[in-house]
């Protein structure tokens, strides 16, 4: 169970390319006409009558959501780094990694 550098580096090379976690928000004409225009006019609409396949999550994502997500992501990273800095180092006499 020794650490194999060659296998580790090969695993890094074989990793799939990074994908964006969030899709950019996009306007949906379907939602505009079937939901928002009706709400603006004071009308009601039936959720059961909506074609749920006519729009995706990117159509209902708020415009500033990617920026807020990035702030939360950065906050989590700062918190983890702070926790790791406060964690005492392993004893040098143990000669183990974890």
**pLDDT one digit per residue (tens) for the chain, 98 residues:** 688 889 999 998 999 988 777 788 889 999 999 999 999 999 998 999 999 999 998 898 888 887 888 888 889 889 998 888 887 765 555 666 55
pLDDT of residue 55: 92
Does 42 fall in a domain? Answer: yes
Does 25 fall in a domain? Answer: yes
31 by Cβ neighbours in 10 Å (0-12 / 13-18 / 19+) ranks as middle
Does 32 fall in a domain? Answer: yes
Closest C-alpha among 70, 9, 60 to residue 31: 60
0.75 exceeded by pTM: no
Does 60 fall in a domain? Answer: yes
Does 55 fall in a domain? Answer: yes
Does 9 fall in a domain? Answer: no
Does 59 fall in a domain? Answer: yes
Number of domains forming the structure of the chain: 1
Does 1 fall in a domain? Answer: no
Range of the domain at 45: 21-86
């Amino acid at each position: 169970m020794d650490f194999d550098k060659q296998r580790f580096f090969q695993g890094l090379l074989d990793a799939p390319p990074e994908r964006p976690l969030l899709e950019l928000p996009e306007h949906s004409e379907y939602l505009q006409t079937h939901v928002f225009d009706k709400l603006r006019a004071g009308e009601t609409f039936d959720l059961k009558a909506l074609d749920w396949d006519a729009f995706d999550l990117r159509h209902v994502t708020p415009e500033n959501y990617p920026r807020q997500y990035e702030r939360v992501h950065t906050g989590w990273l700062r918190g983890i780094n702070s926790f790791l800095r406060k964690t005492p180092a392993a004893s040098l006499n143990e000669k183990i990694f974890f």
